[in-house]
Chain A
Amino acid sequence: MDNAIVATHDTHVEEHHVELPQLRHHFETEEQQREAGTFGMWLFLLTEIMFFGGLFFAYLLYRNWYNPAFVAASNQLSIPLGTVNTAVLISSGFFMALGVWAAEVRKKSLLVLFLILTNIAGLAFLGVKAVEYKEKWDKHHIPGAHFDITEFVNPPLNPKTGKPVEEPLSPDMAQKTQLFFVLYFAMTGMHALHMVIGIVLLFWLTYRANRGEFTEGYVAPIENFGLYWHFVDIVWIFLFPLLYLINRHPGT
C-alpha cells in the first residue's frame, strides 16, 4: 500500500528537493504509522507520570509530616520568579502548539519561527531557574554538609515591627527544611533535565524543519515532540503550586 501523502509529493516539487521519510516497511498505511507513533508517545508520557509520581508521593508524605518546616522552607521561594517562569513556560507551550498547527498547514517559515520561539522561552525558563538555584546556593540552602538552618531557627527581624518575619522553628523541625529542599531540587531538577533534553531535541527539529521535512504532510515528529513539551509544561503546572503557593502560613 502506498503512502498517499508521499505519493502526492512529486506534484508540487519545491526549489530544493527534500527526501521525505518513507513509510516504514512494517506499517500497512501512513495512518497506522502515525497512530502507532502517537500512541507510543502517550504511553511514554504515562511512564513519565509514574516516574515523577514517586517524587510527588514523597513530597506529599513529608509535607504532611513536617508541615511547619515545609511551610517555612517554601516561603524561601520567590513567588514573582516562579510566576514569571510559569508565564514563560506557558507561552513556550503556546508557541509549540502554534508550531504543530504551522506544520499541519505546511507553512515552513512559520514552523521554524515558532520552534525558535518555543526554544527561546524554554531557555529563558532555565535561565530564571538558574537564578533561583544561585540564590539557594548563596543562602546555604543546598542540602548536604553546608546546609544552614539558622535562618529557620532565628528568622531575621522585620525592620518595621521588630518581630521575626517567620515563626521560629525548633532546631529539630528546622532540620526538616532540608528534606523540603531535597525534594525541591529533585523535582525541579528532574523537570529541568527534561527541559534540557527537550531543548536539545528542539534544535535538531528546528534544523530538520528548516530543511522542509515536516511541512510536506509528515508531521508526526513535531506532533509527538509537542506532546512531550506539553507534558513538561504540565509537570511544572503541578510543581509551581505544590512548591511555591500552597499553605504559605502555618496553621492556615
Chain B
Amino acid sequence: MSAATIVNLPDQKTAVIPKKNYINAEDGILSWLFTADHKRIAILYLISITFFFLVGGTFAGLIRLELLTPQPDLVASDTYNKLFTMHGIVMIFLFLVPSIPATLGNFLIPIMIGTRDLAFPKINLLSWYLYMFGAIFLSAAIVLGGVDTGWTFTTPLSTHYLNTHVVTAGLGVFIVGFSSIFTGLNFIVTIHRMRAPGMTWFRLPLFVWSNYAASVLMVLGTPVLAITLVLVVLERTIGIGVFDPTKGGDPLLFQHLFWFYSHPAVYIMILPGFGVISEVMSTFSRKRVFGYSAVAFSSVAIALFGFFVWAHHMFIMGVSNYSALVFSLLTMLVAVPSAIKVFNWSFTMQKGSITFETPMLYALAFIGLFTIGGLTGVFLGSLGMDIHLTETYFIVAHFHYVMVGGMLMAFLAGLHFWWPKLTGRMYPESISQLSAVTSFIGFNLTFMPQFMLGYLGMPRRYHSYPPEFQVLNVLSTAGATVLGFGFLMPVLYLLWSLKYGKIAGNNPWQATGLEWQIQSPPLTENFIEMPVMDHEAYDYEWLAHKTEQEVTTVG
C-alpha cells in the first residue's frame, strides 16, 4: 500500500460507555488487589509507576534547583549525592523498566494477539506485588536517610566506603528485578502460545514484537543483576571479598556483571517505546508501517546486539584495549537497527494522510529526540571521544535524550493513544497538544545545554561547578521547570478526563488493531467471541471494508 486509505467509521458522537466492562465488573478495593485480570493489573501498575515518577521527578527538580548557582547552597554535598542516586534508582527501576511493558503491554498484548488474558494471570499479579514489595524497600531506604552510591551501586564505594542504606536499596532492586522477570516470562509464553487463529508472527502488531524483544532481555539479563546485587550485599555485610582487591577480588568483575544487565536494561526501557511509536505512526498516517518485517527484525537485532556491548561503560576502567575495540565496534552496530526503525517510521509518514493529534505530536517528538540521543550514543561508543566525554554532563544529556526524550515521550504517546481504550473516555485534545509541545520545548531547553556543558568538561555528580558554567546551567534549570509543567499537565487533565472526558467509542482513531475492534473499556474477557485474524496488521483497506459491511448489516 503506497498511499493512505481513508476510513470513515460511523459517528462516535452517539457512543456510550458500555454497561459491562472490566472496570465495573467487580466492586471494592479488594476486587482490584486480588484481581487476575491483566487489564486491572495494568491499571494497578499505572497508578504505582505514576506515583514513583512524581517522586523521582521531585528529586530531579531539587537537583536542578541546586545547580542553579555554582556554589553549593540549597543542600549539603552528601544530600546532593543522595538526591541524584535516588533520582536514578527510582526512575530506572520503579518507573522506566516497568513503564510501558507493565502498563500498556500488560493491558494490550493479550488483546492485540486475540486472547483473554496472559498465560499466567496469577504470576502477573504476583509481579505487581513483588514490584510493590521492592518499592517499599526502596522507599524505606529513602525515608531512613537515603543511599548515595549512584544508581550503579559501584564497588568498592558501595561495599566499603559508604555509611548509607545500600543493603536496603540493593534488596529493593533485587526484588523489583523478579517482578520484571515474571512480566517478561509471561509475555514470552503468551506471545508464543496464546495467539488467536490466523495471528501469525508476521501479522502481530509491532508493539507486540518490540515487547517480545524487551521480554527476552528481561528474562536473560535481570537474573544476572540479581546475583550481582546478592554478592554486593554479602560483600557489604560479611565481607566475602569477591569484589574486594585486598582479598583477591576484582571490582571490575562487578562492573562486568552489573553492566551485563544494565546495558540491556536500557533496551528493555526503550524497545517497548519503539513499539508504541510504530502503532502511533501508522494510525495517524493512515498507512501500513513501512518495512514491517525490517522494523520487527530490528527489534530482535537490538535485543541481540544489546547483550554484547556492555563493556562500553568501562572504557576508562582498565579493560584491555583489544576488548575495548571490539565493544566499540559492536556498540556502533546497535545504531544500524535503530536507524532502520527511524527511517522506516519516516517513510511511513511519506504520502500518508497525517493528522496531528496528541499521540502523533509525542511520537514526532520521540523521533527527533531519540535520533539525537542515539547519535550522541555513537559519539560515546567511539573510543577516543568516550575518554573525553564519559563522566561528564554529555553522558547525562545523552541518556536523558534516549530515556526521557525517547522512552517517556513514547510512554506519553502510548498513554494518550490508548487512553480511550483504557478508560472509555477521551483526554481533552487542545490542552494535551499544548502539553506535548511544552514538554518538547522544555526538554530541549533542559538537556541541550547539558551536551555543551559536558563537552566543555563539567563532570556529572558534582553539586558545585566553576562560575563560567552558570549560564548554561540556568538555561537547563529553566528548561526543567518548563518540562516539569509539561509532565504535570497530563497527570491533571487525564485524571479530570476520567469523569468529564468525552465518551470515546470503540475506535476513535480508526485504527486497525484488534484492541480497537472491541468495546472501550473492554470486557473482562476481552472478546465476546474469539477473534480470527484474516488480514495483515495495519490493513486499512480491511478496516474500510469492514465498516462498510457493518453499515449494511445495521441498516
Tell yes or no: B194 within 8 A of A by CB: yes
> 1/0 per residue B235-263: CB within 8 Å of A?
00011111000011110010011001000
Q: What residues on B are CB-neighbors of A40 within 8 Å?
A: 119-120, 123, 185-186, 189
Min CB distance A219 to B, Å, is 18
Tell yes or no: B228 within 8 A of A by CB: yes
Tell yes or no: A238 within 8 A of B by CB: no
Q: What residues on B are CB-neighbors of A32 within 8 Å?
A: 193-194
Where chain B touches its partner, the secondary structure class is helix
Tell yes or no: B326 within 8 A of A by CB: no
Where chain A touches its partner, the secondary structure class is helix
> 1/0 per residue A141-163: CB within 8 Å of B?
00111000000000000000000
Q: What residues on A are CB-neighbors of B231 within 8 Å?
A: 54, 58, 186
Contact yes or no, B193 A47, CB < 8 A: no
> 1/0 per residue B40-53: CB within 8 Å of A?
00000000000000
User: Given A32-B193, A58-B242, A182-B241, 8 more contacts at CB 8 Å?
Assistant: A25-B117, A39-B189, A43-B188, A43-B219, A50-B221, A57-B256, A65-B248, A144-B239
* A178-B219 CB under 8 A given contacts A39-B192, A43-B185: no
Tell yes or no: B70 within 8 A of A by CB: no
CA distance A24 to B110 in the complex (A): 15
Min CB distance B222 to A, Å, is 7
> 1/0 per residue A162-178: CB within 8 Å of B?
00000000000001101
Min CB distance B111 to A, Å, is 12
Contact yes or no, A53 B224, CB < 8 A: yes
7 closest cross-chain pairs (CB), A and B: A26-B117, A51-B223, A26-B116, A54-B227, A50-B223, A176-B248, A36-B119
Min CB distance B286 to A, Å, is 33
In chain A, positions 2-26 with a C-beta closer than 8 Å to chain B are 24-26
* A interface residues (Cβ-Cβ under 8 A, vs B): 24-28, 32, 35-36, 39-40, 43-44, 46-48, 50-55, 57-58, 61-62, 65-66, 69, 143-145, 175-176, 178-179, 182-183, 186
Q: What residues on A are CB-neighbors of B241 within 8 Å?
A: 143, 178-179, 182
Contact yes or no, A183 B185, CB < 8 A: no
Min CB distance B253 to A, Å, is 6
Tell yes or no: B226 within 8 A of A by CB: yes
Min CB distance B31 to A, Å, is 16
In chain B, positions 212-227 with a C-beta closer than 8 Å to chain A are 219-224, 226-227
Could you list 26 examples of A-B contacts with CB < 8 Å?
A26-B118, A26-B194, A35-B193, A36-B190, A40-B119, A43-B185, A43-B189, A46-B220, A47-B219, A47-B220, A51-B224, A52-B227, A53-B224, A54-B223, A54-B260, A57-B257, A58-B242, A58-B257, A61-B250, A61-B253, A143-B240, A144-B238, A144-B239, A178-B241, A179-B241, A179-B249
CA distance A186 to B243 in the complex (A): 14
Min CB distance A220 to B, Å, is 12
Q: What residues on B are CB-neighbors of A28 within 8 Å?
A: 115, 530
Min CB distance A113 to B, Å, is 30
Contact yes or no, A47 B223, CB < 8 A: yes
Min CB distance A48 to B, Å, is 7
Contact of A55 among B115, B121, B227, B525 (CB under 8 A): B227
CA distance A61 to B238 in the complex (A): 22
Q: What residues on A are CB-neighbors of B525 within 8 Å?
A: 25
CA distance A134 to B84 in the complex (A): 45
CA distance A144 to B222 in the complex (A): 29
CA distance A55 to B240 in the complex (A): 13
Tell yes or no: B181 within 8 A of A by CB: yes
* A186-B240 CB under 8 A given contacts A54-B224, A58-B253: yes
* A50-B116 CB under 8 A given contacts A43-B185, A186-B231: no
Q: Closest B residue to A32 by CB, please name it.
A: B193
CA distance A66 to B241 in the complex (A): 14
Q: What residues on B are CB-neighbors of A46 within 8 Å?
A: 219-220
Contact of B240 among A51, A176, A182 (CB under 8 A): A182
CA distance A58 to B193 in the complex (A): 36
CA distance A55 to B256 in the complex (A): 12
Contact yes or no, A50 B220, CB < 8 A: yes
CA distance A47 to B222 in the complex (A): 8
Contact yes or no, A175 B248, CB < 8 A: yes
Q: What residues on B are CB-neighbors of A57 within 8 Å?
A: 253, 256-257
Q: What residues on A are CB-neighbors of B234 within 8 Å?
A: 186
Q: Closest B residue to A47 by CB, please name it.
A: B223
Q: Closest B residue to A185 by CB, please name it.
A: B240
CA distance A179 to B243 in the complex (A): 10
Contact yes or no, A62 B194, CB < 8 A: no
Q: Closest A residue to B234 by CB, please name it.
A: A186
Q: Closest B residue to A1 by CB, please name it.
A: B530
Min CB distance A178 to B, Å, is 6
CA distance A25 to B192 in the complex (A): 18
In chain B, positions 178-220 with a C-beta closer than 8 Å to chain A are 181, 185-186, 188-190, 192-194, 219-220
Contact of B194 among A36, A52, A176 (CB under 8 A): A36
CA distance A54 to B221 in the complex (A): 11
Pick from A43, A48, A145 the residue with the most CB of B within 10 Å. Answer: A43
Q: What residues on B are CB-neighbors of A50 within 8 Å?
A: 220-221, 223-224
In chain B, positions 317-336 with a C-beta closer than 8 Å to chain A are none
Q: What residues on A are CB-neighbors of B118 within 8 Å?
A: 26
Q: Closest A residue to B222 by CB, please name it.
A: A47
CA distance A143 to B181 in the complex (A): 31
Contact yes or no, A178 B247, CB < 8 A: yes
Min CB distance A30 to B, Å, is 13
Contact yes or no, B121 A26, CB < 8 A: yes
Q: What residues on B are CB-neighbors of A183 within 8 Å?
A: 242
> 1/0 per residue B75-102: CB within 8 Å of A?
0000000000000000000000000000
Q: What residues on B are CB-neighbors of A65 within 8 Å?
A: 248
Contact yes or no, B185 A54, CB < 8 A: no
Min CB distance B240 to A, Å, is 4
* A47-B240 CB under 8 A given contacts A35-B193, A54-B224: no
Q: What residues on A are CB-neighbors of B249 within 8 Å?
A: 62, 179
CA distance A32 to B194 in the complex (A): 8
CA distance A52 to B226 in the complex (A): 10
Min CB distance A45 to B, Å, is 11
CA distance A143 to B223 in the complex (A): 25
CA distance A143 to B244 in the complex (A): 13
Min CB distance B175 to A, Å, is 14
Q: What residues on B are CB-neighbors of A52 within 8 Å?
A: 227
* A66-B253 CB under 8 A given contacts A43-B189, A51-B227: no
* A179-B247 CB under 8 A given contacts A36-B119, A143-B240: yes
Contact yes or no, A47 B257, CB < 8 A: no
Q: What residues on A are CB-neighbors of B116 within 8 Å?
A: 25-26
Contact yes or no, A44 B248, CB < 8 A: no
Contact yes or no, B257 A36, CB < 8 A: no
Q: Closest A residue to B186 by CB, please name it.
A: A40
Q: Closest B residue to A42 by CB, please name it.
A: B189
Q: What residues on B are CB-neighbors of A25 within 8 Å?
A: 116-117, 525
Q: What residues on A are CB-neighbors of B228 within 8 Å?
A: 54
Q: What residues on B are CB-neighbors of A58 within 8 Å?
A: 231, 242, 253, 257
CA distance A39 to B226 in the complex (A): 22
Q: What residues on B are CB-neighbors of A69 within 8 Å?
A: 248
Min CB distance B184 to A, Å, is 8
Contact yes or no, A54 B257, CB < 8 A: yes
